[in-house]
Amino acid sequence: DEIRIFSPATVANLSCGFDVLGCCLDSVGDEMLIRKNDLGEVRITKITGQDLPLETDKNVAGVAAKALLEELSSKQGFDIEIYKKIKAGSGIGSSAASSAGAVFAINKLLGERFSANELIPFAMEGERLASGNAHADNVAPALLGGFSLVKSYDPLEVINLPSPSELRMVVLHPLIEIKTKDSRSIIKQSVSLKKAISQWGNLGAFVSALYTEDYELLGRSLKDEVVEPIRSILIPYFDDLKQVVMDKGALGFGISGSGPSVFALCKGNEKAENVKAAINDFYKSKDIAFELHLSKIN
């Protein structure tokens, strides 16, 4: 009556797909232990690694779990332990990992009443609590794996996309905290037709390239004229970093979710290791602590 899970980090937006595109990292994530209790309530009994609320209604995992149980009119209680490895405010889906992990594990313990796709709306309630907006571009890939495209929010329709096997993601996390709520508040609410055209052209090309495994096209589609020019101001040395990774042969570079993490998409492990080393060399000369991850997309 208990389950221990790995709940993955995710990279949302991927430049061309603000709020609709995301992917799942296979080597970065939290651990969670979830067990049934006889108390008829959801409790967050332990959190290590981060200072986050234990109160069920203030915790994204608690809120997501309750949304699922309400849908089933279930009175079953659960204890949730969260071993955070992903830092809050990192831009690699910390709240999504907790929300998606909670509903994934509870669904398993209740005999898989929902498909992975059907779990997305419950996990989105955690995102609503964390950022004031129930975006799905982190929770969807956390639950489905690989790449996800949110075709529409109303009604919610999420499509799982293929993940070319040689793709590697290098993620730099400068250790400053940017709250998604704050970095959403600075984005303009309207987009010119000219920018919209370039954005949907790139998003379409990106999806096409995932199917045809056209790595070069994938990289060339990682463009963002809508959000990146505004949010990148919050990220120390963003333009220099882009230069460094592109010089080392990365396919593309952009902001991970709402930042401050940035990602470089690479073809093959060797190239990714070179890009990682170049970022390390560049950033260690700056006065900002950081973490670097290299992961497959699975």
Judged by CB, which is closer to ligand HSE: 39, or 230? Answer: 230
137 scored as a contact of ligand HSE (CB under 6 A): yes
| Minimum separation from the CB atom of position 21 to ligand HSE (A) | 9
178 in Cβ contact with 256 (< 8 Å) = no
179 scored as a contact of ligand HSE (CB under 6 A): no
Judged by CB, which is closer to ligand HSE: 213, or 291? Answer: 291
224 scored as a contact of ligand HSE (CB under 6 A): no
Whole-angstrom distance, CA of residue 5 vs CA of residue 33: 6
Q: Which secondary-structure segment (H or E) carries 148?
A: strand 147-153
| Minimum separation from the CB atom of position 93 to ligand HSE (A) | 6
Among 19, 41, 225, 273, binds ligand HSE (CB under 6 A): 19
For tokens 């509870």, what's the residue?
Answer: 106
Q: List binders of ligand HSE among 182-221 (CB under 6 A).
A: 184
Residue nearest to ligand HSE (CB): 257
The single residue of 10, 81, 125, 180 carrying the catalytic annotation is: 180
Tokens of 232: 């990148």
Total residues at interface with ligand HSE (CB under 6 A): 11
252-255, strands of its sheet edge to edge: 252-255, 262-267, 167-174, 290-296
For residue 112, indicate whether it is catalytic.
no
13 scored as a contact of ligand HSE (CB under 6 A): yes
Tokens of 116: 């992975």
278 in Cβ contact with 245 (< 8 Å) = yes
| Minimum separation from the CB atom of position 153 to ligand HSE (A) | 12
| Minimum separation from the CB atom of position 23 to ligand HSE (A) | 12
Judged by CB, which is closer to ligand HSE: 62, or 257? Answer: 257
**Which residues lie closer than 8 Å to 247 by C-beta, 6 or more apart?**
278
Interaction pattern, residues 107-136, with ligand HSE; x per rule: CB under 6 A? ----------------------------x-
Residue 156 CA from chain centroid, whole number: 18
| Amino acid at the residue 130 | A
For residue 48, indicate whether it is catalytic.
no
| Cβ-based neighbour number of residue 269 at 10 Å | 12
| Minimum separation from the CB atom of position 257 to ligand HSE (A) | 3
With CA atoms as reference, report the closest residue to 218 among 285, 272, 168.
168
| Cβ-based neighbour number of residue 85 at 10 Å | 16
Among 89, 174, 257, 260, binds ligand HSE (CB under 6 A): 257
Tokens of 98: 């907790």
141 scored as a contact of ligand HSE (CB under 6 A): no
Among 99, 107, 138, 199, binds ligand HSE (CB under 6 A): 138
Which DSSP string corresponds to 32-77?
EEEEEESSSSEEEEEEESS----SGGGSHHHHHHHHHHHHTT---E
Point out which residues bind ligand HSE (CB under 6 A).
12-13, 18-19, 135, 137-138, 180, 184, 257-258
Catalytic residues: 127, 180
